[in-house]
Each structure stands twice: as structure tokens, then as C-alpha cells.
Amino acid sequence: MEHHYQSPWFIEALKEEGDLKINQLDSHLNTDICIIGGGFTGLWTALKIKEKKPTINVIIIEKDLCGSGASGRNGGCMIPQSTKFQGIKKIVGLEDAKKIVISTEAAVNNIKNYCKKNNIDAQIRDDGVLYGATNKFHKGAFESLIKDLNENKINSWQRLSKEKVQHLTGSAKFIDGYYSPIGGSLQPALLVRGLKKTAENKGIKIYEKSGALSYNGKKEIIIKTKKGSVKCNKLIIAMNAWTPTLLPFLSRSVILVSSDMIITEPIKNKLIDLGLTNGLVILDSNLFTHYCRTTPDGKMILGKGGNTFSFRNKVIDSFDGPSTIAKYLTKSLNSFYPSLKNIKISKSWNGPSERTKTGFPFFGYHPKNQNISYAFGYSGNGVLTCYVGGDILSSMALEEQNEWTESNFCKGPLELFPPEPFRWLGAMLIRNAVRRKEKLQEQEKKPWWIDKQLAKLAVSVGRVDFEKKEVKN
Ligand SMILES: Cc1cc2nc3c(=O)[nH]c(=O)nc-3n(C[C@H](O)[C@H](O)[C@H](O)COP(=O)(O)OP(=O)(O)OC[C@H]3O[C@@H](n4cnc5c(N)ncnc54)[C@H](O)[C@@H]3O)c2cc1C
């Protein structure tokens, strides 16, 4: 069967499955709960619902294959929400902000234990996360964050010496940095396909190549696909980038932008020479962060967000193709690791990442029907947060009153972007300013005042600014 351009993760995961068995929806079914979207969010939600209420009937319908969206092609970097703590706190308050930090940190072990229990080999290596400074403007960037996390007794970050940072990252480009042992990397497509198999084993019915075309918002909800339909009492929308196609009232709540990635050929010995032998996630401190990690079979992966912004949040064709900035990413890789200069890049790819104005996801109910709930806006930080999203959405669908359903995360979008064309034009203006600013900073030069002001707007739309306010030479 032909599949559209996919990440090496997804190709590897499908290969492991051997003959693909695709169950398409071609009849008219009844169920208690129907979930649209078979990525991390849809699958974790279904699994949590079944765990809480084993007798309940759950159907997932997926327009392509489970994991063919962001879940099967992301960087596999497990990064908790702790670095966003200060920004989140300002919007949802201290208690909710603490809750999301604690729960996304706990998700590392929860996912690991879940995989172990259910025989999912997602190549999890929980060796932590390191944010490094590549110029003087980023030195000491986490001091205020750490103070705040410490005051709230939820800090896992520590500043390392320059020597230690260079030792852990294998890169002389880093001159300072912060490390947390909570986090690491995994193979995302093996995880999502493993969750699919587990879900089926637990009695959850999954229909692939069965996209939802429409639904009605009545008491008895009916979702229509090309060849069939599902009648249900509760509907959960877990469609990520595609959400506004069924929920247009959410179209101003996110901006869709690519996250772009490259992967090298196997270079195990070179990685050993660099000291890169574990699953540590390494990031720089730019607004649109470079992130990199190795794979257990000795490849290096590097990615960066914030390149292609789509107009009107359309999931454009280029999101399903090679990265348009593969050359730039290769240059970045070489600048971190000059010894990898002649290494072959075996593939590049990208995908749509939905950024909210607040920088964190939101959950909510359809304004006209409380039986329809949704999750949206993981903002490039979904591997761990989708696990928590499963807790939240399952609670909403089962009408539980708990710390999540009563939290500010379940009040829908808390901030909106301007309408088009201003959203797209603004995004391009800010993206280009951030690029100019960071290019000059890399050369240890002062950025232009106007670009600094424009970059501040990126911070106000949920990017984390790891720049220290005052730089003293
Ligand atoms: C290239 C890239 C790199 C990333 N790197 C990281 C990272 O390293 N760490 C991290 O934490 N996060 C990362 N992210 C973000 C993370 O991948 C996402 O937040 C997460 O996968 C979202 O999961 P989801 O289930 O909500 O969405 P998805 O996995 O996108 O699932 C949504 C599903 O809905 C389906 N769908 C859409 N329309 C319909 C329809 N009409 N009917 C039925 N089904 C439909 C889609 O086919 C898709 O399978 C990255 C994202 C991208 C794109």
C-alpha cells in the first residue's frame, strides 16, 4: 500500500508490523464514546477511558493510519512543561501551573511503566534534558526560573559548569547550560503504533483510512465517514492540526507552523567519540530552539521549529514532504558537531505543529454540546503532555469532577490570535525578526532594537525566552 511521505520512525514502525491490517469503517455503528484522531491524544484517551470503565464501548476513527500525524513523526524528545512554568503560572495561576509541571514530569515514568507492562518497545531512554547557551546572551538564562521552581518545591534543574555541559553534549559550542534528569528520548512511531495494538487488545475498536467528514451536534451524535457512520453519546476530537476543519470556532486559537528535522546515516563510532551514548535531549536556548538527540542504533537527529507558517492554518501539502530547510539544519548540525561535517543526511521531514498564544494546550467542550470535548495546541511539546491530555479528556468524557476538569486548562482557548491575514503577516514579521536577532547573537553582536521588540511578541505568543534580561560582559 502507498503511503504519503513519512518520517523514518514511521517507516521503521510499520516495517516491524509486517503485513498491515487496515480496518476501514464501512458500516453504521453505535458506541458509547467515539474519538476522532488516532495519535497520542486519541489513543491515550481511549486507553484511560477503558482503564477507568472497562465495560464502556470506545471507537477511534482515523483518517489515515494511527500515528501518521505528528505523533509518528516528532523528535521523540520527552520534555516536561517545567521550563514554561513561569509563563503558564501567569495565565492559569500557581496551582494549575504546578499541576502541569508535576504531571508532565511524572509522565516520563508513567509512559515507561505503561510500555513495559504492555510489551511496547518504544526505545525509551530517560537520560534527561539539557538546555545549553551558545552565546553570552543566553548565559544564566534559567536562574529566575529555577528560583521560582525551587520556591514551589518542584525544581529538577541545575546549572552545570561549562566543562560539564561540553562533556555531556559533546559540543564545544555550548558555553553554559542547565540539566534536568527528568526527560529523555523515545521512538515516537513505535510508541503510537504500540498504543494502537494495546488499545485493540483491550477491546477498543479502531478504524483507519476512515476520516470523519462531518458530525451533528445533536443529543445523539452521528459522525459520518465516506463509507459508514458512528452514532455515539460522547464525541472526543483529538485531531490536532486538523481540529478547525471540524471545530471552526477554534481557528483563531492556534497558529500552524512546521517543525523540521534531519537524521544522519548510522555513525555509532563517531557518536561514541563525541561521548553521545545515551538518550539525552540537547537543546540550544533560541526562541525557535534547535533540538537534537541520538538513536539507539547510532544516528543523530536534529530539529527546529518555526519555519513554514501556513495561511489560515491549512494543513498544507509541504507538511507531508521533506524539510524545506534541510540545508540550514545540516549547517546547524555541523556547527554543533564539526566532526560530523562529511556525514550523510539520510532523510529530512517536517510536520505541522500547533502553537497556542499561551504556549500550552487547552481542553474544552463544544459551546453548543457538552457531550463533545476536544484537546488542542500542544505547542511542540506533546510527547509527555499528550499522556496527561489522555487523563484530562477521559475525565471530561466520563463527566468526572476532579482537579483537571475543574482546572483552567479545561476552559477552552484562553487567548486568541488576530484574524487572517494579520495572523500570518504578524507571524512572518516576528519569525524574520527572531531569525535576524538570533543570527547576530550567535556572532556575539547586539541585535537591532526593533528585532528585540518584535521577538518579545513571540515570547508573548507562548515561546519561552531563555534570554537573560541584562548581559554583563
Ligand atoms: C516534526 C515534529 C516534531 C515534533 N517534536 C516533538 C518532540 O520532540 N517532543 C514533543 O514533546 N513534541 C514534539 N512535537 C509535537 C507532538 O508530536 C504533538 O504535540 C503530538 O504528537 C500531538 O499528538 P495528537 O495525537 O494530538 O496529534 P496527531 O498525532 O497529529 O494526531 C491527530 C490525528 O488525527 C487524524 N485526523 C485528522 N483529521 C481527521 C479526520 N477528519 N478524521 C479522522 N482522523 C483525522 C490525523 O490523521 C492524525 O493521525 C513535534 C511535532 C512535529 C510535527
CA-closest candidate to residue 409, choices 381, 384, 376, 370:
376
Q: Which residue has the cell 543570527?
A: 439
pLDDT by residue (tens digit) across 135-169?
999 999 999 999 999 999 999 999 999 999 999 99
252/373 Cα distance (integer angstroms): 18
Band of residue 5 on the pLDDT scale cut at 50, 70, 90: very high
Average pLDDT for the chain: 94
Omega before 248 within 30 of 0, i.e. cis: no
On whether the 123-187+254-355 domain is CATH 3.20.10.10, my answer is: no
Of 63, 83, 349, the one to substitute when testing ligand 1's pocket (max ligand atoms within 8 A of C-beta) is 63
* Residue located nearest, by CA, to atom 52 of ligand 1: 74
Q: What pLDDT, on the 0 to 100 scale, is given for residue 150?
A: 98
CB distance 289 to ligand 1 below 6 Å: no
pLDDT by residue (tens digit) across 72-83?
999 999 999 999
Which cell numbers in the block locate residue 437?
536577532
The superfamily in CATH containing domain 8-73+189-253+359-410 is: FAD/NAD(P)-binding domain (3.50.50.60)
Distances (CA, A) of 185 to 78, 108, 129, 376: 5, 10, 9, 23
pLDDT by residue (tens digit) across 293-314?
999 999 999 999 888 999 988 9
CB distance 361 to ligand 1 below 6 Å: no
Strands 214-215 and 281-283, bridge-based pairing: unpaired
Q: Is the pLDDT of residue 230 over 50?
A: yes
Q: What pLDDT, on the 0 to 100 scale, is given for residue 473?
A: 33
* Residue located nearest, by CA, to atom 27 of ligand 1: 240
pLDDT by residue (tens digit) across 385-414?
999 999 999 999 999 999 999 999 999 999
Q: Is the pLDDT of residue 470 over 70?
A: no
Strands 176-180 and 129-133, bridge-based pairing: antiparallel
Q: Is the pLDDT of residue 443 over 50?
A: yes
Least confident of 53-67, 116-130, 340-354, 434-448: 434-448
Q: What pLDDT, on the 0 to 100 scale, is given for residue 1?
A: 55
